[in-house]
Chain A
Amino acid sequence: MIRQIVYKEVLENLLSLRFVLAVLLTVSLFAICGYVFVNGYGEQSKDFWKKTNENLSALREETDQLYKVAFFKQGIYRKPKPLGLCAEGFEQSLPNLFKVNAFTAELPATKGQANFALPHFSHVDWVLIISLIMSFAALVLTYDNICGEKEDGTLRQTMANTIPRHKVLTGKYAGAMITLAIPLIMGMLVSLIIVISSGGVVIGGGEWLKILMLALVSLLYLSVFVLLGIFVSSRTSHPANAMAILLFLWVVTVILVPSFSRIIFDVVYEEPTEQELQRRLDEAREEIWNNHDRYGRNAGSMSNNLSDPINNPPARARLQNATMDATNQLQQEHHNRCFQQALARRNFASLSPAVIYQRACEAIAGTGINRCAELYEQVGRYGADLKEFIRSRDSEDPVSLHLIGPERNMAYSWRAISHNPVDFDIIPKFRERPITLRQSLKLAVWDIGLLALINLCLFAAAFVSFLKYDVR
């Protein structure tokens, strides 16, 4: 019997003007999204490869002496991702440049684009269309699901038959979900066709799986609003009242909660500042330099003449390494605090299913703040690999003092690090390891679970409400 209710619901929706409008609006938005993405992605890719090649060319120029390679600050740029189409993750405002050498990975920075104003405009991606437009469409399709039928008198006619209420409810839910899946899938396909046919974006096998996952999570998110619509519809007698209540709830959950919770969070929690970091760095360095004797005799003094008795190269190298270690640690702590604060701010806004959905999609697509943090970690690990490479090449040079320290002058004047040339091809190059589907799911599992839980609660609420609903 559920099948008949589902069929009736789908047919009724398909014949309605609101469905036609929802399809037109969402599909055209998906198409615009695909078109805008193709243009932006092409520009970003060109920019990325240009800067990456410039970085490698500059590195090649340093290969005449090993120590220069160790000190050369490589600029590693964030590669544009094809799945930015689905969940851009505010990447336009996140850092896109990571500077690293064998001794340190600087804090992520943002390298300005040609038009400085562009990053301030919202990016249209699938998540935006689904979280705003389609969630509202879900309410428009369901606000009169029960009370509208009551008002028309058809609910009474239906319930005069031998169909249990839970089957009617399940059928109505399934019918609304199938109806919503039509513009969703159509929109996604249109968007993907535009992107693929452009030839500039290549979507790999793993990414297709992620797109499938994104579609499923999107349905889970839309299901929240379908159930909310059915629940409110089963609590009211008139469709107009149901629509007014749902409009209020939609504005609160999708617009107000995400915006205001961020504002409240920023007022309540103190942001770690660059000035604070600089103060802590100065203190740490001062503490090390004031106690330079603990690293050996004359660690704090240096003369370019190696035979000068004031010099103690190993002590000097220990001191410089200690300073760099302290700097790296404080920078890492600062970065972690910034990252944790960003995550906490998002968690603070988790009352909104839209925020939960956005977070889940970014995790699956491998974009946004998580990707930024992962990239910074990868860059840090690359710096350590590079240092290890320098150490191994340096050990082959009998003239070098083998003091791998972060003081360029020491490396140059004393030959603390080898001055021999190095083959460019054997120098480790940075390659971003993409987040696997497994990692993505691990990151998204809590948010998916949370959406499932909200669905369950709303279904239970709608079920209880409809059981008690006066169908007369």
Chain B
Amino acid sequence: MIEIDELTKRYEDGVLALDHVSYSVEPGEIFCLLGANGAGKTTTINILLDFIPPTSGSASINGHDCNKFPLQAKKYVSYVSENVQLYGMFTARQNLAFFAELAGKKGLKKKDYDDVMRSVGLPEKALSMRLKNFSKGMRQKLGIAIALLKDPPAILMDEPTSGLDPTSAKEFLDQLRRLRERGKAILITTHDIFRAKMIADRVGIMKQGRLVAVRKKEDFKHADLEQIYIREMEAADVVS
């Protein structure tokens, strides 16, 4: 569903953000990209959303090249950012309606909004609340609700659990599991090794633009993922 092939990005100031990175995320899979700041995780998402062009290589969603046919590719993906920023003066319903219509979902009824709010764990009364009164956790949940309303086969999440309290984070992970059960291909960038271990089917470890390792669930299910991460990072240092 999400294909990254020899993806390279060198910024105008010469910084190499991605260095021939390749991997894929299949339907019904959660792929977590781990790495320090500046490892190239967000750059990958920016290329997938056509916010920036790649220097070489390709990124595609459902077979559509994200750089050559961005509008086609974006039909099949939703995006949840680190800090879901929506229109503060609008109510949750107005925000949902706006982004749903942008995603091509028309004629949604009150029941559709109520259902999606319930499924992300937001009270129905929150629909008529202005976003400026939402906590960060509530905004993240609404970001998921927007993604659910679009109902695409792929979802990109950039540091989605950052800043969430433990309860909200747990609810968020439950939501991700449900999405996986519905066959969504989910790419998550995160620093949060603890939660990555809980939710990921595979993890990719990035360092300075390179994908230094990819580990399956079986590799870290009963092991310390943090140790694996540190080992791979040190090994990458030796190689480089």
User: Is residue B55 within 8 Å, beta carbon to beta carbon, of the partner chain?
Assistant: no
Chain B residue contacts of A438, Cβ below 8 A: none
User: Is residue A154 within 8 Å, beta carbon to beta carbon, of the partner chain?
Assistant: yes
A153:B103 contact, CB within 8 angstroms = no
A160 to chain B, nearest CB (A): 4
B52 to chain A, nearest CB (A): 7
- Binary contact track A1-13/B, C-beta < 8 Å → 1, others 0: 1001001100110
Chain A residue contacts of B88, Cβ below 8 A: 152
Residues B79-107 near A (CB distance < 8 A):
79, 81, 83-90, 94, 98-99, 101-104
Chain B residue contacts of A266, Cβ below 8 A: none
Chain B residue contacts of A164, Cβ below 8 A: 71
Which bucket holds chain B's interface residue count?
20 to 34
A154:B87 contact, CB within 8 angstroms = yes
Q: Across the two chains, which residue of chain A brings its CB closest to B150?
A: A161
Q: Across the two chains, which residue of chain A brings its CB closest to B74?
A: A162
Chain A residue contacts of B49, Cβ below 8 A: 159-160
Which bucket holds chain A's interface residue count?
20 to 34
Chain B residue contacts of A472, Cβ below 8 A: 46, 51-52
Chain B residue contacts of A158, Cβ below 8 A: 99, 102
Q: Across the two chains, which residue of chain B brings its CB closest to A168?
A: B102
Residue from B74, B87, B101, B103 in contact with A12 in the complex, judged by beta carbons closer than 8 Å: B87
User: Given the known A-B contacts A11-B90, A11-B94, are A159 and B85 also in contact in the complex, defined by CB atoms under 8 Å?
Assistant: no
B85:A153 contact, CB within 8 angstroms = yes
Q: Across the two chains, which residue of chain B brings its CB closest to A16?
A: B89
Chain A residue contacts of B94, Cβ below 8 A: 11
Q: How far is the CA of A8 from the CA of B91 in the complex (A)?
A: 12
A468 to chain B, nearest CB (A): 11
Q: How far is the CA of A253 from the CA of B84 in the complex (A)?
A: 40
Q: How far is the CA of A157 from the CA of B103 in the complex (A)?
A: 11
User: Is residue A163 within 8 Å, beta carbon to beta carbon, of the partner chain?
Assistant: yes
User: Is residue B75 within 8 Å, beta carbon to beta carbon, of the partner chain?
Assistant: yes
Chain B residue contacts of A16, Cβ below 8 A: 89
A157:B51 contact, CB within 8 angstroms = no
Give the top 4 A-B pairs by smallest Cβ distance, nearest first: A153-B85, A160-B79, A161-B102, A4-B101
Which residues of B pack against A, CB within 8 Å?
46, 49, 51-52, 71-72, 74-75, 77-79, 81, 83-90, 94, 98-99, 101-104
21 A–B contacts, CB within 8 A, in A order? A4-B102, A11-B90, A12-B87, A12-B89, A15-B90, A153-B85, A154-B86, A154-B87, A156-B85, A157-B79, A157-B85, A157-B99, A159-B51, A160-B77, A160-B78, A161-B74, A162-B72, A162-B74, A162-B102, A162-B103, A470-B51
